[in-house]
Structure 1
Amino acid sequence: MPSARKLMVSLAVAAALGAAAVVVGPADPATAVADTIPLTLKNTSGSGEQVYVYVIGTELASGKQGYADETGAFHAWPAGGAPPVPAPDASFAGPADGASKTVQLPKFSGRVYFSYGQKLDFRLADGGLVQPAVQNPSDPNHDILFNWTEYTLNDSGLWLNSTQVDMFSAPYSVGLTAGDGSTKETGELKPGGYQAVVNGLKGQGGGWEGLVQSRGDGTPLRVLAPGHGIASGDIPAGVMDDYIDRVWSKYATDTLTVTPFKDQPDTVFKGKVNGDKMDFTDGTGAVVTSFDKPDSDSVFGCYNKLDAPNDQVRGPISRTLCAAYNRSTLLTNSQQPDADASGFYQDGVTNHYARLVHDQMKDGQAYAFAFDDVGNHESLVHDGAPKDATITLGSFG
């Protein structure tokens, strides 16, 4: 089942939100997805600040990038510039605390942003929309409290997820009403969960406290994902090195078995460290791909030395490795992927950001790193014929 993240391409700077190629069959007229579906925004945040909402992405019918208003009508972005120029104001007012508001969600691959107390500053570059990059202290949105959800709505249905891949910030959950009338929801924090994540990182030691960003008055704005924290110098670059070294040592003598496809149990790859490479062989014993020893940044970002191309060999192996490194299961289980969440994050050297975020979710589901969907631990709702969708702004308390 494709997730919203699998269907989206999210570029960090001066780039637009675009749909990945999706091959689907013709829609059944009896269950065809309407051009827009109702999206109900519920505000249970406890905040008295004005909420601003944005629906931004790629209109799938035209392939153009832009935004939607409350009615679901599409507005294409005008041309950008160098340096980037201010984008048109794409915001509309969200519901007050304790209230709800229903708008129309169009067939986009995109994001729904929401901010508290202040509108976001979007710019247009020659290459498209510049997304907020709060790991940069000079980003104009750095001191604004905001968050976003990712979604794809197309003829095959709705994929809607809460995401913490880039940061953990203003809490929210997502949900939908399926075609059969049942409801699904995910992303809701436990009571006190927002502050528990912040306090957990502050008390972790080892530099993890550097991921917490606060306003001048001390109010927490967000926790950066550790990959961004390495890039900004807010967390030590070698924070995962000890674990990586132990994995490298183990598989110099042991064999790592990766079975990346649940529906293809006979597709098995064997991994072993040979010098500065971890080689993977197929059933014939032929080396099909090799990985350099990763660094912490590659682990947290699931890229660079753990690059995952959209193929049937290297990509699936890399996804599995990335999830296992972040969850610290490679030393305890040489059969991967490991789907048993009870064994995740048990090593002293682990992705403590992901550990705390998952621990504070009511259902344990989250998108705390790019391939958190390995084993279906992501915070995603999907239906092929959705009646409506919901985004609930959660409590900071």
Structure 2
Amino acid sequence: MPHTLARPAVSLAAAAALAGGLLALGAPGRAQAAVPDTVPLKITNSSGRSEPVYVYDLGTQLSSGRQGWADANGAFHAWPAGGNPPTPAPDAAIPGPAAGQSKTIRIPKFSGRIYFSYGRKLDFRLTTGGLVQPAVQNPSDPNRDILFNWSEYTLNDSGLWLNSTQVDMFSAPYAVGVQRADGSVSSTGHLKPGGWTGFFDALRGRPGGWAGLIQTRPDGTVLRALSPLYGVETGALPANVMDDYVNRVWRKYTTSALTVTPFADRPGTKYYGRVSGDVMNFTDSSGAVVTSFRKPDAASIFGCHKLLDAPNDQVRGPISRTLCAGFNRSTLLVHPSQPDTTTADFYKDPVTNHYAREVHARTADGKAYAFAFDDVGNQESLVHDGSPRQAYLTLDPLS
């Protein structure tokens, strides 16, 4: 059986935080057309695969806070009460386009996910606490042998935020796009030619347990690679995989300061980190300690949580986001001022998030959500528009 998540998916949390930040940065006083209650989503099947495709639009209805799904016309349906053990959810599948074809559905004002699967419908269950999402890090999850993926989106009165995500896994490739009010289209998420096979070949060739992230069907068909967070949690990736790098960071900032400037639009807001024992204390410009972090482990780094928790505040959260990006990209020893937004510096240390490294190396525009706060330095695979005319989801080949 799948398990309910004890915490919100970090990718959703990152998307929500990003959306909030973008809203805050919107130009004041700018006239904006009202965002309609639903927006067309054009789904194009360029996968070359012959299996049927199933699409799901699941999320939280922003006007009511209720959780449920939307049908092809964008109408909302609330989930019924669940049970313990979990009970089957209503069939929310929308038949997707055949290979080489397109289909347009409408998406409502949700904060949620667009799932798609090949060959089989996904198995969703309901508990007394709500929807059970697929959790393929669990070997007994009924969706374990299904090829599927999802995109995340928020559509509200301020516009559309739509991303491709690899925070939880790297699987069936796809791209997202938005058509703006002026007719122009922005898209992201496509892989380079050979990107799918190149990614898995790179993991297989990487010593230290990284190949253990790959999941296959019993017949050997490659389905996905788990994120390194799930790799650590399931034992596929050694729990000490980041220890050497963390120890070097701790040594460096015992005798010098790490300067964090977490807001690009507020360059005067700086915090200074110094290590004392197992703790890095951050002070503000007056010298007052504003927050502290214990020495993080790999799970905290890959998940941007636990010892690197990032509350939605103006101090600890923004500092933690910066630290998380620096640890995953292994830039904390390159520059004592963070965030380091020079992509040429990323993932150069032998001890790094090699999963994120290979994801970014395989995307056509270099953008991805390979960990929760990959938006630090604008490295995320996101499209946004305040007056969207149409959204796009393109299913790409596994090649």
Structure 1 residue matching 2:244: 3-state secondary structure: helix
Matched letter for residue 278 of structure 1: M
CA deviations on 1:201-251 (whole Å, 9 max, x unpaired) are: 111011000000011111110000000111111111111111111111111
Is the aligned partner of 1:274 residue 2:276? yes
User: Would the alpha carbon gap of residues 179 and 27 (structure 1) be closer, same or farther in structure 2, given more than 3 Å must change?
Assistant: farther
Is the Cα–Cα contact under 8 Å of residues 14 and 125 in structure 1 kept in the other structure? no
In structure 1, stretches of 5+ residues that fail to align are 1-10
The two structures have a TM-score, normalised by structure 1, of: 0.94
Structure 2 residue matching 1:204: 3-state secondary structure: coil
In structure 2, stretches of 5+ residues that fail to align are none
Matched letter for residue 327 of structure 1: R
Partner of residue 327, structure 2:
325
Matched letter for residue 265 of structure 2: D
Partner of residue 251, structure 1:
253
Q: Name the CA distance, whole Å, in 1 between partners of 2:131 and 2:172.
A: 22
Partner of residue 262, structure 2:
260
Q: What is the CA-CA distance between 1:46 and the residue it aligns to? A: 1.2
More helix by proportion, 1 or 2?
Answer: 2
Q: Name the CA distance, whole Å, in 2 between partners of 1:286 and 1:74.
A: 50
Q: Name the CA distance, whole Å, in 2 between partners of 1:257 and 1:55.
A: 42
Partner of residue 117, structure 1:
119
Give 2:78's match in structure 1, choosing from 76, 79, 83: 76
Partner of residue 65, structure 2:
63
Within-5 A mapping of 1:99-248: 99-248=101-250
User: Would the alpha carbon gap of residues 380 and 261 (structure 1) be closer, same or farther in structure 2, given more than 3 Å must change?
Assistant: same
User: Would the alpha carbon gap of residues 289 and 28 (structure 1) be closer, same or farther in structure 2, given more than 3 Å must change?
Assistant: closer
User: Would the alpha carbon gap of residues 306 and 13 (structure 1) be closer, same or farther in structure 2, given more than 3 Å must change?
Assistant: closer
Matched letter for residue 331 of structure 1: L
Q: Name the CA distance, whole Å, in 1 between partners of 2:293 and 2:376.
A: 19
Q: Name the CA distance, whole Å, in 2 between partners of 1:30 and 1:257.
A: 38
Partner of residue 94, structure 2:
92
Between the two proteins, what is the percent identity of the paired residues?
65
Q: Name the CA distance, whole Å, in 2 between partners of 1:207 and 1:218.
A: 19
Q: What is the CA-CA distance between 1:12 and the residue it aligns to? A: 2.5
Matched letter for residue 47 of structure 1: R
Is the Cα–Cα contact under 8 Å of residues 44 and 97 in structure 1 kept in the other structure? yes
Partner of residue 379, structure 1:
381
Q: Name the CA distance, whole Å, in 1 between partners of 2:311 and 2:42.
A: 36
- How many residue pairs align between the two structures? 387
Is the Cα–Cα contact under 8 Å of residues 13 and 131 in structure 1 kept in the other structure? no
Is the Cα–Cα contact under 8 Å of residues 113 and 148 in structure 1 kept in the other structure? yes
Q: What is the CA-CA distance between 1:353 and the residue it aligns to? A: 0.1
Q: Name the CA distance, whole Å, in 2 between partners of 1:144 and 1:30.
A: 42
Partner of residue 3, structure 1:
none
Structure 2 residue matching 1:279: 3-state secondary structure: strand
Q: Name the CA distance, whole Å, in 2 between partners of 1:276 and 1:242.
A: 14
Within-5 A mapping of 1:290-305: 290-305=292-307
Give 1:12's match in structure 2, choosing from 5, 8, 33: 5
Q: Name the CA distance, whole Å, in 1 between partners of 2:363 and 2:53.
A: 23
CA deviations on 1:132-188 (whole Å, 9 max, x unpaired) are: 111000111111110000000011000000000000000000001011211100010
User: Would the alpha carbon gap of residues 286 and 27 (structure 1) be closer, same or farther in structure 2, given more than 3 Å must change?
Assistant: closer
CA deviations on 1:255-303 (whole Å, 9 max, x unpaired) are: 1000001111111101110111101110001111110000011000000
Matched letter for residue 5 of structure 2: A
Q: What is the CA-CA distance between 1:27 and the residue it aligns to? A: 11
Q: Name the CA distance, whole Å, in 2 between partners of 1:371 and 1:141.
A: 27
Matched letter for residue 70 of structure 1: A
Moved more, 199-208 or 30-39: 30-39
Q: What is the CA-CA distance between 1:105 and the residue it aligns to? A: 1.1
Q: Name the CA distance, whole Å, in 1 between partners of 2:100 and 2:16.
A: 37
The two structures have a TM-score, normalised by structure 2, of: 0.94
Pairwise CA RMSD of aligned residues?
2.0
Q: Name the CA distance, whole Å, in 1 between partners of 2:192 and 2:31.
A: 40
Q: What is the CA-CA distance between 1:13 and the residue it aligns to? A: 5.3
Q: Name the CA distance, whole Å, in 2 between partners of 1:233 and 1:110.
A: 29
Is the Cα–Cα contact under 8 Å of residues 178 and 386 in structure 1 kept in the other structure? yes
Structure 1 residue matching 2:254: 3-state secondary structure: coil
Give 1:349's match in structure 2, choosing from 345, 348, 351: 351
Moved more, 23-32 or 253-262: 23-32
Matched letter for residue 12 of structure 1: L
Partner of residue 7, structure 1:
none
Q: Name the CA distance, whole Å, in 1 between partners of 2:162 and 2:80.
A: 27
Matched letter for residue 69 of structure 1: D
Is the Cα–Cα contact under 8 Å of residues 27 and 156 in structure 1 kept in the other structure? no
Structure 2 residue matching 1:366: 3-state secondary structure: coil
Matched letter for residue 229 of structure 2: G
Matched letter for residue 266 of structure 1: G
